[in-house]
């Protein structure tokens, strides 16, 4: 394939949709993925995808979807892109339907819709409780079709190591690691689209997949791509604890009638329903997680003093549960060994999603010309808190709109980038691996990872205190120093998972520092960022996007205004109807 | 004495290296799965003889049995390591890589051929484009339920591992791909290209290579109606054969 091909890094929903759009415009794509694309993290999304199609005649509209998205974001999302996304949502769901996604149906054969967090409308199209998987497969099939036509070349089990830049600072390709052979290769490209997902592993055990390493965006960040809003990290209210990870129990369980409760004064206490009569169990995630944390940690009201509350579907008809929720209830059954159809599930909040990411303009281009970002790794659309079922939408929407500008950008004539420039980047990456291979210190990268993850999860999620953040920042420096003294056990030059992990760990530590620094600086509470010392949203001083640049090995923070040109500011309330 | 878990793992540094067995002993915990046993070894890579070693390599991603990555052979049964709970397994827990795909290292194999066979089978809807063309075709709840059951295939390869007809040197595409052909042939728009898929599946490696051993359906972690789908596809194939015969005459 020619060097005309645009490179897409990441084969989840955003990367696949970008690939489809670029191919549709007649342009070839080289698609790089850490795993075979069908195994990307998007497959774990359960609940559904939002689109105001108003099948049930409730008077829903894209405008209402937009307003609820902005209120849900606590007004930190730029409004025009969010509006674009909500307006396009019906087209996106119809497109997926045409691709053959087995969405659940009404008796008439129309798409069925369920409720979801932060809304009172039935706006969420769904395929059982494995919607992400079904959307992934539909896009994978379409990419496969272009692959059969010769427009797509896949590089699976390859990991992006860095971007290539020319003397003008434009992105001109990538350096990537073929993980099975451990060979670093540089690829020229007229444009690069990063669709590398979120940084789950920064928080250790989360609802994310093991491939959500947070590494690739940090490589781009260190090469000059600006970051935005890293402090906004979504904690999902309902997940189950596991030794290896936390497993999501979808918001759709509550949307289908699941009720959350614990005991108080010996009686069942349906606290969401009491505190938020209008939205009940479907308050947005930032609020729901904060309430559960308060009830369990501060009030000590977890059942039997345990670190959980109950999520109960035992009052719902078995047949309905099987038709609409079997995918998620099966996860509970298989991993907890208990029957969730007839017993309340034990759930607790877990880190789930990053609202922040690479800064982009309204064409999805990062601060590095020629480098685009789409999906969870971009910062657009969700502000300080993402509404459920808006992530599948934003991934696909971003992939959809990046195609045309990326192809147009790629069509310009630029002077050739010299072979020596490629060799230099490859040499740098190879050298970094050689240093890891030569390491014979006493530290174990996986244990440092555990320490970082547990600390970030404990101290930098639902509740943030400046004094604690200062301690975390200091500890991260220590861990970084420790990570420089690891002893590599596997010296093999084939699929060296340990060497790859050790390098990614350094990236994650930098990601963690960035989150902590931005969280420390923001002296207010907004969406998922909650500081008891500054308990209120402060629009006068903090209605602004956090920007982070990396220069001279320092993290430099600055701010830019949020585009609030379409919807006036208002108080965010869920105890009454909007 | 605290309880421990003993694992016996097949190690192989690469496809051309000699395989060997290595045993590990790790502390027992409640709700321990095989996947976390492997993660535990990474944190202290010392084998049962007390000798420092490297941690085994395996494929993993979602850890909730929806991506298919961590498929391996656990005590002679092909399954995902994430849902293999230690409490349900006899010890030592014996771990081996899938045998029907090229080895990458230790417990990790390359299932590329599986994905290539999906491409060959044209299992997609040939949409006209991604621009706004309105809603898709209506669909009954019954058809949706059937298609959803088939669409949950995560390309893990359990069905291929146990199939006597499937192998590295043999052309048979296996049960999963055949079920995907059915998935698209029953879709209202997908059906418009049904004959193209049936033509592919009538070639060597297609449906006639199925030996009807029925092992596939017994190991599918998603309980996909694989043998029923092969039978349904067989019936479609009869119709296709007749159409082809009469269009020639």
Q: What values do phi and psi take at A382, rounded to 5?
A: -115, -10
- Residue of A170, A172, A285, A386 marked active site: A285
User: How many CA within 13 A on the CB side of residue A335?
Assistant: 29
Q: Is the pLDDT of residue A229 over 70?
A: yes
> In DSSP terms, which residues pair with A264 in a beta bridge?
A267
CATH topology of domain A419-561: Methane Monooxygenase Hydroxylase; Chain G, domain 1 (1.20.58)
pLDDT band (50, 70, 90) for residue A148: very high
Percent of chain A predicted with pLDDT > 90: 98
Strand-pair category, A29-33 with A6-9: parallel
The CATH superfamily label for domain B112-127+138-248 reads: Alpha-helical ferredoxin (1.10.1060.10)
Mean pLDDT score of chain A: 97
Cβ within 8 Å, pair A105-B133: no
Cβ within 8 Å, pair B184-A100: yes
Does a cis peptide bond (omega within 30 degrees of 0) precede residue B47? no
Rounded to two decimals, the ipTM of the complex is 0.97
Q: Is the pLDDT of residue B46 over 80?
A: yes
**How far does Cα A494 stand from its chain's mean position?**
30
Cβ within 8 Å, pair B123-A141: yes
Q: Is the pLDDT of residue A529 over 70?
A: yes
In this structure, CATH architecture of domain B4-109: Roll (3.10)
- pLDDT score recorded for residue B2: 65
Cβ within 8 Å, pair B132-A91: yes
B-chain residues within 8 Å CB-CB of A331?
64-65
- pLDDT score recorded for residue A552: 83
Residues B149 and B117: beta-carbon distance below 8 Å: no
The closest CB to that of A494, out of B13, B118, B183, belongs to: B13
> In DSSP terms, which residues pair with B103 in a beta bridge?
B109
> In DSSP terms, which residues pair with A183 in a beta bridge?
A178
Query: A537 Cβ partners below 8 Å, 6+ apart?
Result: A74, A75, A524, A525, A526, A572
- pLDDT score recorded for residue B126: 97
B120 CA: distance to closest CA in chain A (Å): 8
Question: CA A426, CA A432: separation in Å to the nearest integer?
Answer: 10
Cβ within 8 Å, pair A100-B189: yes
If one counts every other C-beta atom within 10 angstroms of the C-beta of residue A88, the result is: 19
A535-552 in b/e form (b: 16+ CB < 10 A) is: eebeeeebbebbbbbbee
- pLDDT score recorded for residue B247: 85
**How far does Cα B205 stand from its chain's mean position?**
17
Cβ within 8 Å, pair A99-B44: no
Q: Is the pLDDT of residue B249 over 80?
A: no
Residues A432 and A52: beta-carbon distance below 8 Å: no
Structure tokens at A130: 């494995």
Question: CA A466, CA A544: separation in Å to the nearest integer?
Answer: 20
Residues in B 183-242 with any Cβ partner in A closer than 8 A: 183-184, 187, 189-190
Residues B122 and B193: beta-carbon distance below 8 Å: yes
B249 CA: distance to closest CA in chain A (Å): 32
A-chain residues within 8 Å CB-CB of B116?
none
pLDDT band (50, 70, 90) for residue A577: confident
Strand-pair category, A357-358 with A227-228: antiparallel
Residue-wise pLDDT for A535-547, tens only, equals: 999 999 999 999 9
- pLDDT score recorded for residue B140: 97
DSSP A486: B
B-chain residues within 8 Å CB-CB of A496?
57
What element of type H or E holds A457?
helix A445-459
Structure tokens at B56: 């085994």
Question: CA B162, CA B57: separation in Å to the nearest integer?
Answer: 23
Indicate which of A449, A490, A493 best probes the interface with B, i.e. most B CBs within 10 Å of its own CB: A490
Question: CA A368, CA A498: separation in Å to the nearest integer?
Answer: 31
Q: Is the pLDDT of residue B184 over 90?
A: yes
When pLDDT is averaged across residues A55-71 and rounded to a whole number, the result is: 97
B-chain residues within 8 Å CB-CB of A134?
148, 151
Cβ within 8 Å, pair A489-B55: yes
pLDDT band (50, 70, 90) for residue A441: very high
- A39 to chain B: nearest residue by CA? B67
> In DSSP terms, which residues pair with A357 in a beta bridge?
A228
**Cα dist from B34 to A10, A408, A487, B8, B61, whole Å:** 28, 49, 25, 12, 14
Rg of the Cα atoms in chain A: 23
List, in sequence order, every beta strand (DSSP E) within B1-44: 4-11, 20-27
- The residue behind tokens 């600055």 is A558
Residue extents of the structural domains in chain B:
4-109, 112-127+138-248
List, in sequence order, every beta strand (DSSP E) within A409-490: none
Q: Is A493 a catalytic residue?
A: no
Q: Is the pLDDT of residue A171 over 90?
A: yes
Q: What values do phi and psi take at A421, rounded to 5?
A: -65, -40
Burial of B20: CB neighbours in 10 Å, binned 0-12, 13-18, 19+: exposed
- pLDDT score recorded for residue A2: 62
When pLDDT is averaged across residues A217-240 and rounded to a whole number, the result is: 98
Q: Is the pLDDT of residue A578 over 90?
A: no
B-chain residues within 8 Å CB-CB of A94?
132-136
Question: CA A114, CA A91: separation in Å to the nearest integer?
Answer: 18
- The reply to whether B119 touches chain A by the CB within 8 Å rule is yes
Question: CA A184, CA A427: separation in Å to the nearest integer?
Answer: 9
Residue-wise pLDDT for B23-35, tens only, equals: 999 999 999 999 9
The CATH number of A239-350, from 2.60.40.1220, 3.90.700.10, 3.10.20.90, 1.20.1510.10, is 3.90.700.10
What element of type H or E holds A516?
helix A497-521
Residues A358 and A199: beta-carbon distance below 8 Å: no
A-chain residues within 8 Å CB-CB of B152?
128, 130, 133, 327
A-chain residues within 8 Å CB-CB of B62?
39, 41, 43-44, 209-210
Q: What values do phi and psi take at A350, rounded to 5?
A: -150, 150
- The reply to whether B66 touches chain A by the CB within 8 Å rule is yes
- pLDDT score recorded for residue A215: 98
Q: Is the pLDDT of residue B3 over 70?
A: yes
Cβ within 8 Å, pair B61-A210: yes
- The residue behind tokens 């030569």 is A438
SS3 state at A222: helix
Residue-wise pLDDT for A241-271, tens only, equals: 999 999 999 999 999 999 999 999 999 999 9
User: How many CA within 13 A on the CB side of residue A51?
Assistant: 25
Q: Is the pLDDT of residue B1 over 60?
A: no
A100 CA: distance to closest CA in chain B (Å): 7
Query: A13 Cβ partners below 8 Å, 6+ apart?
Result: A40, A42, A132, A135, A136, A139, A375, A392, A395, A396, A399
- The reply to whether B18 touches chain A by the CB within 8 Å rule is no
DSSP notation for B174-227: -HHHHHHHHHHHTSTTGGGGHHHHHHHHTSTTSGGG-----HHHHH-TT---HH
Question: CA A114, CA A251: separation in Å to the nearest integer?
Answer: 11
The torsion region of residue B103 among left (phi > 0), alpha (psi -120 to 50) and beta comes to beta
Question: CA B19, CA A450: separation in Å to the nearest integer?
Answer: 31
The closest CB to that of A44, out of B13, B31, B64, belongs to: B64
A279-315 in b/e form (b: 16+ CB < 10 A) is: bbbbbbbbbbbbbbbebbeeeebbeeeeebbbbbbbe
Residue-wise pLDDT for A109-145, tens only, equals: 999 999 999 999 999 999 999 999 999 999 999 999 9
If one counts every other C-beta atom within 10 angstroms of the C-beta of residue A528, the result is: 32
Residue-wise pLDDT for B128-140, tens only, equals: 999 999 999 999 9
């Amino acid at each position: 394939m020619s060097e005309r091909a645009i490179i897409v890094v990441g084969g989840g929903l955003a990367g696949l949709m970008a690939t489809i759009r670029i191919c549709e415009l007649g342009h070839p794509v080289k698609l790089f993925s850490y795993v075979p694309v069908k195994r990307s993290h998007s497959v774990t999304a359960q609940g559904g995808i939002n689109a105001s199609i108003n099948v049930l005649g409730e008077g829903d509209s894209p405008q209402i979807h937009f307003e609820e998205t902005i209120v849900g974001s606590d007004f930190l999302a730029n409004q025009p892109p969010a509006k674009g996304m909500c307006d396009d949502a019906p087209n996106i769901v119809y497109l997926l339907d045409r691709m053959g996604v087995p969405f659940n149906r009404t008796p008439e054969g129309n798409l069925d819709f369920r409720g979801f967090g932060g809304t009172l409308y039935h706006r969420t199209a769904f395929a059982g409780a494995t919607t992400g998987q079904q959307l992934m497969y539909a896009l994978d099939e379409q990419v496969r079709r272009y692959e059969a036509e010769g427009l797509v070349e896949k590089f699976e089990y390859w990991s992006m190591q860095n971007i290539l830049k020319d003397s003008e600072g434009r992105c001109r390709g990538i350096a990537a690691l073929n993980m099975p052979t451990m060979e670093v290769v540089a690829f020229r490209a007229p444009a690069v689209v990063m669709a590398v997902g979120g940084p789950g592993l920064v928080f250790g055990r989360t609802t994310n997949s093991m491939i959500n390493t947070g590494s690739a965006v940090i490589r781009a960040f260190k090469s000059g791509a600006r970051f935005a809003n890293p402090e906004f990290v979504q904690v999902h209210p309902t997940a189950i604890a596991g030794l290896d990870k936390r497993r999501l129990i979808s918001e759709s369980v509550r949307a289908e009638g699941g009720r959350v409760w614990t005991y108080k004064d010996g009686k069942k206490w349906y606290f969401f329903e009491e505190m938020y009569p209008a939205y009940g169990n479907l308050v947005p995630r930032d609020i729901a997680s904060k309430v559960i944390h308060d009830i369990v940690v501060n009030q000590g009201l977890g059942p039997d003093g345990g670190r959980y509350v109950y999520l109960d579907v035992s009052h719902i008809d078995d047949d309905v549960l099987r038709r609409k929720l079997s995918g998620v209830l099966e996860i509970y059954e298989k991993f907890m060994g208990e029957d969730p159809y007839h017993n309340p599930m034990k759930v607790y909040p877990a880190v789930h999603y990053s609202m922040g990411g690479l800064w982009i303009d309204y064409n999805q281009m990062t601060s590095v010309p020629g480098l685009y970002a789409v999906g969870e790794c971009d910062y657009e659309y969700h502000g300080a808190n993402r509404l459920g079922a808006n992530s599948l939408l934003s991934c696909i929407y971003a992939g959809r709109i990046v195609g045309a500008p990326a192809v147009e950008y790629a069509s310009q004539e630029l002077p050739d980038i010299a072979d020596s420039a490629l060799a230099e980047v490859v040499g740098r990456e190879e050298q970094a691996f050689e240093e890891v291979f030569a390491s014979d210190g006493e530290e174990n990268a996986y244990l440092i990872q555990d320490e970082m993850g547990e600390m970030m999860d404990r101290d930098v999620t639902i509740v943030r205190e400046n004094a604690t953040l200062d301690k975390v920042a200091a500890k991260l420096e220590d861990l970084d120093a420790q990570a420089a003294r690891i002893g590599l056990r596997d010296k093999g030059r084939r699929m060296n998972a340990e060497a790859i992990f050790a390098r990614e760990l350094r990236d994650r530590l930098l990601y963690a520092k960035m989150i902590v620094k931005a969280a420390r600086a923001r002296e207010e509470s907004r969406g998922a960022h909650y500081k008891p010392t500054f308990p209120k949203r402060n629009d006068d001083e903090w209605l602004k996007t956090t920007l982070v640049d990396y220069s001279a090995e320092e993290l430099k923070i600055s701010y830019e205004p949020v585009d609030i040109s379409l919807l006036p500011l208002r108080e965010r309330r869920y105890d009454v109807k909007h | 004495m605290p309880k421990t878990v003993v694992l016996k793992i097949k190690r192989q540094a690469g496809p051309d290296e000699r395989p060997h067995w290595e045993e590990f002993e790790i502390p027992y915990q409640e709700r321990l799965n095989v996947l976390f046993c492997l993660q535990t070894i990474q944190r202290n890579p010392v084998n049962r003889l007390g000798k420092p070693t490297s941690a085994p390599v395996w494929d993993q991603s979602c850890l909730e049995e929806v991506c298919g990555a961590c498929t391996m052979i656990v005590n002679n049964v092909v399954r995902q390591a994430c849902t293999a709970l230690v409490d349900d397994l006899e010890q030592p827990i014996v771990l081996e890589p899938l045998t029907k795909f090229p080895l990458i290292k230790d417990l990790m194999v390359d299932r590329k051929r599986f994905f290539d066979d999906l491409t060959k089978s044209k299992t997609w809807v040939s949409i006209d484009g991604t621009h706004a063309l309105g809603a898709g075709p209506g669909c009954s709840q019954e058809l949706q339920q059937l298609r959803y059951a088939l669409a949950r295939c995560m390309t893990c390869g359990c069905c291929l591992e146990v199939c006597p007809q499937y192998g590295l040197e043999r052309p048979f595409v296996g049960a999963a791909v055949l079920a995907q052909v059915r998935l698209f042939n029953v879709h209202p728009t997908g059906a418009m290209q049904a004959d193209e898929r049936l033509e592919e599946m009538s070639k060597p490696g297609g449906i006639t290579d199925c030996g009807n051993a029925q092992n596939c359906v017994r190991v599918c972690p998603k309980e996909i109606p694989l043998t029923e789908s092969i039978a349904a596809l067989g019936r479609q194939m009869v119709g296709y054969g007749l159409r082809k015969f009469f269009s020639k005459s």
